[in-house]
Structure 1
Amino acid sequence: MPKYTYLREEHRRGFDNYKYNCVDTSFFSRNVMHPFWNYLVQFFPRWIAPNLITFTGFLLTIVNFLLIGYYDFHFKAANDPRNSTIPNWVWIVAAINIFVAYTLDGIDGKQARRTGTSGPLGELFDHGVDSYSAALIPIYMFSIFGTEQISPLRMHFVIWNVFLNFYLTHFEKYNTAVLYLPWAYDFTMWGVTVMLLITGVFGLEMWDFKLLGLYSPAFVFEMILYISGLVTSHPFIIYRIIMSYRKRTGKMRPFIEAVRPLFPFLTLFAITTIWVLGSQNDILSKEPRMLFLLFGTVFSNISCRLIVAQMSDTRADGWNHLMCLLIIVGGVSITPLFNLFNFSNLHPNIESILVYFLAIFATITQIHFGYGVVREMCDHFKIHCFKVRSRTYGKQMHDKNN
């Protein structure tokens, strides 16, 4: 039986001709973090594959998500901070994990250059797992504040703001062929690390106050995330895309083709928002964690497909099939169908069961997609994802990227 494939021949040709083009204009990143990472990478043996470093950092992010979720599945622990169900050591472990994950994310590319294994697979693998981390990190951060400081609906829009910041970076590269690293990324990762560490040392009571007697820490956290995108990211992305057309340095796609990657993103936002606002069972309050995991998984799938398209210089998808299931379940949940046939005592649980089913199905689908794409690229380039083996391939790709 033939294997199911995700990459077409045009994708493979595009990856053959791909050249990495990245710009980091952050003063903090260039003058603080990169020297730090350049120093640390010297201690990594050259037999350690860069993708293994990337994957290890991602696993630490998953550990945080599972660990905090185990103690505070419904984001209620911070509602009574002095009797929190989350031990302080959990926050300290989470702070260490997120900082190590952030550090490994900064080192993997440098290890690739050290070992002569730079190439499209490494970049795709790195940014692919980052798209999932963009969903997981905000989710477990909400346990610091609890639902009394920040409602699940506000959490929903905060997560979508994070999604937007990540997605626009790759939407920009799709049109300009240049990846401009966002300024706010380093500050965000440091901020998350410090907040988790402070929580581990002083407990959740640390965040039980009002700034100026008016604003909760959760509100300040929200505003920082919103404003950072509006000030340090979005205007510059729009400006650089416009300038790429004026100077004819980008892909010069027609307008509809240029904005095509936004269609699945905006559609997913519309579907999820209509669902959580219209659910007759207030499903967002009942299952916030699983809904956020579901939405984040579908977002990651959309993002990964965009990354494949922009790296292979192929047409981006205008639709994602996982959204069909969301439309069906979300559509049913906002209609009176659950009340038919005297199922009134069952319908709240039915919607929760469907959410769990969709989250599991979407996760399996995303894992299959990620594994399939990586396997196909490894077969195409005759390399191994987690082994430093083919120096010839690495030298060729390294020379091409330089």
Structure 2
Amino acid sequence: MATSNRNLDKSPSALIRHNVRQLKEQTQKLQTNAKEAVRRMPVVLTEQQLKRLKEHKYASEGITLFDPIMQEFWKWLVEYCPLWVAPNLLTIVGLALNIGTSVLLMIETDGAKEQCSRWIYFLTALGLFIYQSLDAIDGKQARRTNSQSPLGELFDHGCDSVSAVFVTIACCCAVQLGVYPWLMFWACILSYFAFYAAHWQTYVSGKLKFGRLDCTEAQFSFIVVYFICTISPGFWSKSIPYLQIEYRIFVALLMIGSTLWSSFNNIRAISQGGCGRNFSSVAGTSIIFPGWPIGFVIFLAVVASNYSTSRVLEEHTSLHLLCYGIVFSKITNRLIVGHMSRSPLNGWDTSFVGPLAVCINQYFNLFIDEHILLWLFLLYNLYDLLRYNIKVCQELCDFLDIHCFRIKPSTTPPTNQNH
């Protein structure tokens, strides 16, 4: 009888259950250790900021051209999303797919200078469309599951700031704009600035204002570019009849023109004054000061690109612009937190270390190879961005007693089923 019991214990189903149980225990232990490690990091948000974040209410105005049409699709799509799926989980999955396909395109086009396989262009279009869809339904999913919180808005805009960098560079790679490095430089830098200016305006007025042509339309424009590449990879190197201008130059000029127009509209709105006392920002501070971080980063990027001894912009175009894009994402996230918590911005940020190190290395003719330094710059700023974002999410989750990627069981039923 004892032998029979031992054989039963060693049966395949019992072993599988035992292994699954062990795996669960190890996973929970890793999660606990990771949470404790994050909690031991230096505090980012003050008690006052946390209280104001809790009180924050989303405010926006304006509607884009495609939104009325897409809203019907998004309402239909969210119905197929299980109720146990957390809204932030949708956003991060979409972002991961978008980044993955964009990075693949950057690698395969050799820094935006060569064509690549048609299926990579198609995958990049698909990754962007999935991100757009999941990013659009996360708020609807939050209302369906009664899990709305300020963390959702913060997480959504933070992911958008990262996506904006990869999407812009990937589009330039698709049209092989790297053969004109300075044109690609300004197309990307001005796109970063336009996104930052939109949140600068929000920090001043307290409302996120959408134009008739905004993020949704820009994303569909990029998807169209990827589909054209899928059909004819060499299309963008051809010239427009009679004008003798390559199609890729036309795309770059269109990007520059649209971002300048968007930036002009936001700066004009900023110049009209803020919603605070004496026309100050939401934090009661200067409406001009938020221009300092982005202006400083752009200045350092121009200096590093112009005075590089090894021509890093020309030789490593995508990598170079990605480095400064990660810095842009960090200072944009700081601005978003500043707006939602109605708190002043600091003049210094740790993300400035990378751009300053590059300029110092150039000025003093140090022995560090610029290509190697660029990789160190990227790794440091990725760490700096992730550290900041993870810590902000952890502190806000602890304060609100919620989970970032899990829905906490609600004690009250949803009050609003309209989504």
Query: Structure 2 vs 1, CA of residues 72 and 236 (structure 1 numbering), >3 Å: closer, same or farther?
Result: closer
Q: How does 1:181-200 map to 2 (within 5 A)?
A: 181-182=210-211, 183-200=213-230
Supply the distance in 1 between the matched residues of 2:356 and 2:265 (Cα, whole angstroms).
34
**Contact 1:263/1:319, CA 8 A, preserved across alignment:** no
Matched, 1:295 2:332: no
Between structure 1 and structure 2, the one with the greater Rg is: 2
CA shift, 1:337, in A, is: 4.1
Q: TM-score, normalised by structure 1?
A: 0.86
Q: How does 1:322-337 map to 2 (within 5 A)?
A: 322-337=351-366
Q: How does 1:308-323 map to 2 (within 5 A)?
A: 308-323=337-352
Matched, 1:275 2:304: yes
Aligned partner of 1:259 among 288, 291, 305: 288
Partner of 1:81: none
Partner of 2:26: none
- Comparing 116-125 with 237-246, greater Cα deviation is found at 237-246
CA shift, 1:336, in A, is: 3.7
Supply the distance in 1 between the matched residues of 2:145 and 2:279 (Cα, whole angstroms).
31
Query: Structure 2 vs 1, CA of residues 208 and 371 (structure 1 numbering), >3 Å: closer, same or farther?
Result: same
Aligned partner of 2:83 among 16, 27, 46: 46
Partner of 2:24: none
Partner of 1:205: 234
Partner of 2:258: 228
Query: Structure 2 vs 1, CA of residues 236 and 391 (structure 1 numbering), >3 Å: closer, same or farther?
Result: farther
**Structure 1 segments unaligned to the other structure (5+ residues):** 79-85, 339-346
Aligned sequence identity (%): 26
Supply the distance in 2 between the matched residues of 1:313 and 1:243 (Cα, whole angstroms).
19
CA shift, 1:298, in A, is: 0.9
Matched, 1:359 2:378: yes
Partner of 1:344: none
Aligned partner of 2:50 among 8, 12, 28: 12
Supply the distance in 1 between the matched residues of 2:62 and 2:278 (Cα, whole angstroms).
18
> Which amino acid is 1:11 matched to?
Q
- Comparing 302-311 with 329-338, greater Cα deviation is found at 329-338
> Which amino acid is 1:57 matched to?
G
**Structure 2 segments unaligned to the other structure (5+ residues):** 1-36
Supply the distance in 2 between the matched residues of 1:206 and 1:335 (Cα, whole angstroms).
44
> Which amino acid is 1:4 matched to?
P
- Per the alignment, in what secondary structure is the counterpart of residue 259 of structure 1? coil
Supply the distance in 1 between the matched residues of 2:278 and 2:316 (Cα, whole angstroms).
46
**Contact 1:176/1:249, CA 8 A, preserved across alignment:** no
CA shift, 1:224, in A, is: 1.5
Aligned partner of 2:101 among 64, 83, 100: 64
- Count of matched residue positions in the alignment of Structure 1 and Structure 2: 377
Query: Structure 2 vs 1, CA of residues 243 and 219 (structure 1 numbering), >3 Å: closer, same or farther?
Result: same
- Comparing 18-27 with 130-139, greater Cα deviation is found at 18-27
**Contact 1:51/1:385, CA 8 A, preserved across alignment:** yes
CA shift, 1:69, in A, is: 2.7
Partner of 2:163: 133
Aligned partner of 1:119 among 131, 135, 149: 149
Q: Which 4+ residue blocks in structure 1 deviate beyond 6 angstroms?
A: 246-250, 253-256, 393-396
> Which amino acid is 1:93 matched to?
L
Greater relative contact order structure (CA < 8 Å, 6+ sep) = 1
> Which amino acid is 1:291 matched to?
H
What CA RMSD, in Å, does the superposition of the two structures yield over aligned residues? 2.6
Matched, 1:168 2:197: yes
Q: TM-score, normalised by structure 2?
A: 0.83
Aligned partner of 1:372 among 381, 387, 391: 391
> Which amino acid is 1:227 matched to?
G
Matched, 1:382 2:382: no
Cα deviation per residue 1:37-72 (whole Å; 9 max; x = unaligned)? 112111111111110111011011111122113322
